Amino acid sequence: MAKLSLPYLLATLVAYAAADGEVLRHPKQPCAHLKAPCIPGAEIISINGTELWNYTVSAVPGLLPSPVTGLDVCAVDVVLTHPGAHDKVLVKVWMPLEGWNGRFQANGGVGFAAGELDLTLGPTIKQGYSSASTDAGVGFNPSSPEAWALRPDGSVNRDALINFSYRSVHDMALIGKEITKQFYGQKPKYSYWNGCSTGGRQAMVAAQRYPDLFDGILAGAPAIYWTTYVIAEQWPQVVMKMEKSFPSPCELKVFTDAAIAECDGLDGVVDGVINDPDVCHFNPYALVGRKIPCDGMNVTITEATASVVQKVFQGPFGPDGESRWYGLNPGAALDSLTNTNVTHGKRVGAPFFVNDAWIRYWIAKDPNYDLSKINYSTLDRLFAQSDKEYDAIIGTDNPNLSGFQKSGGKLLMWHGLSDQLIFPKGTVEYRNRVERLMGGSEKVNEFFRLFLAPGVDHCAGTPSLGAVPTDPLAALVNWVENKRAPPNLAAEIAGSQGGARIICPYPQIAQYIGGDTKSANSFKCV
């Protein structure tokens, strides 16, 4: 205990100026003596606070690329339950022992995990925020919901799904802000949400269901329209089955590269990126008959393979010919949703884990359901069933943001146009619906701006050939605290190409106006 007392005493005696320089902030309560907050609809089981000095959060491939070191943190674990739900939810709140910036930030999850816990808490604390993350009572396994989707009797665990879908956002925010207030003796001056993919969907939960929780919301590649778009992710697998063609990854890459080669220069800059996929009219059938080296042999592109790619771009449609959802943009990688593997010497489909699990656990309610048997008519029935049973819980596509607007909140949404997992046109559809309901583009831009990043993959993952936003959270903070709406987002191109760009607010796009193509000053929003 002696090792902790002196640093803690120093931390509590020294006042640290906030980023805005207005109020001095420092710990007021010992970390171990914080009280359980009162959360409507929940009961606190336990609360435990511990000081961590010079703490390190280790890197995790695919989630946290580099370790976060030198953290001095009051780490608080709050465990709660919802009466009748038979759940046990962990909320983690971390607060800087030194140098709090006066702000609170809640962090979202990934895949089937409602929060990344230490993996987002570490980087957020490093920036001076107090921060919170939650497991929503479903644990931390982004790739599979096997442990919580179904009850022992085989029925859907609706309480767990409600926690994952929206309830945990509310509880985490209230707990995080209350614990922060106790520790520092004052509530955060500003509160933010930061998340991408599942975290982006949770961001929209906050804006739609709990509009007073956050001053600023950053939503990347939001997994909204969940009940529709997740079924649409299965479409490429069904197409391959029905066309009896299962292209290898190197065959699919030929189509991606050909689309980029055809449409790259339409914006006046040859940089390996399609700036506006809507004006790219790439025809996959133009590649039929082409011989390519692939998997150590020469392969000829067939009409069936071109048909698969064409339908993936087109998106799912029903027996009536009507569109059920959007497809991927030309230039996006195709091998995540149109994935295959070789089994017993034969190439077969390999569904993406999100749509695979959603269909097996929530739609079929059978972990052993065989997705390879799904045909066009079966998939159409899955669309209807998914929407009917779960849209009210996890759809998260309500365009009425009037509550968030009235609260004075700001929403910054961004999405990569080469996202191969969550269809960017669905995000554009949502923005357009908000505009139609709430008075048009100019009025909506006062509190909600969407930025589309050409050539950027899901949540800026690999492969992203375009310019990735460098710090959209900083743009959001400036908007909230200084009333300066972002006219564009600063962005950088990674790798050997390099260079700075701007990403424009929808419906504008970045137009090249001459000069060095690696300089942001050579582009303007039009």
Query: pLDDT per residue over 54-101, tens digit each?
Result: 999 999 998 999 999 999 999 999 999 999 999 999 999 999 999 999
Among 419, 457, 464, 522, the active-site one is: 419
Residue range 370-416, pLDDT digits in tens:
999 999 999 999 999 999 999 999 999 999 999 999 999 999 999 99
pLDDT at 27: 83
Cα separation of 421 and 197, whole Å?
Answer: 9
pLDDT at 295: 83
- How many beta carbons lie within 10 A of that of residue 310, not counting itself? 17
Fill in the DSSP letter of residue 167.
I
Among 197, 307, 336, 386, the active-site one is: 197
pLDDT at 18: 38
197 counts as catalytic: yes
Cα separation of 288 and 309, whole Å?
Answer: 12
Domain-by-domain residue ranges, the chain?
A: 2-226+395-485, 229-392
Take residue 455 and report the two structure tokens written for it. Answer: 């050539």
Burial class (CB in 10 A: 0-12, 13-18, 19+), 88: middle
Which of 248, 184, 227, 207 minimizes the C-alpha distance to 26? Answer: 184
Among 264, 307, 458, 464, the active-site one is: 458
- H helical segments located in 264-302: none
Task: Considering only CA atoms, give the Rg of the chain.
Answer: 24
pLDDT at 16: 33
Give the Cα-Cα-Cα angle 205, 209, 214 (nearest 5 degrees). 75
Contact 338, 216 (CB under 8 A): no
pLDDT at 279: 96
Take residue 13 and report the two structure tokens written for it. Answer: 């005696």
| DSSP E strands, 251-363 | 291-294, 297-300, 340-343, 346-349
pLDDT at 25: 61
Residue range 297-306, pLDDT digits in tens:
899 999 999 9
- H helical segments located in 131-248: 158-162, 168-184, 198-209, 226-232, 235-243
- Low pLDDT (below 70) residues in the chain: 1-25, 495-496
Q: In CATH, what number does 2-226+395-485 get?
A: 3.40.50.1820
Q: What SS3 class is residue 45?
A: strand
Query: What's the full length of the chain, in residues?
Result: 526
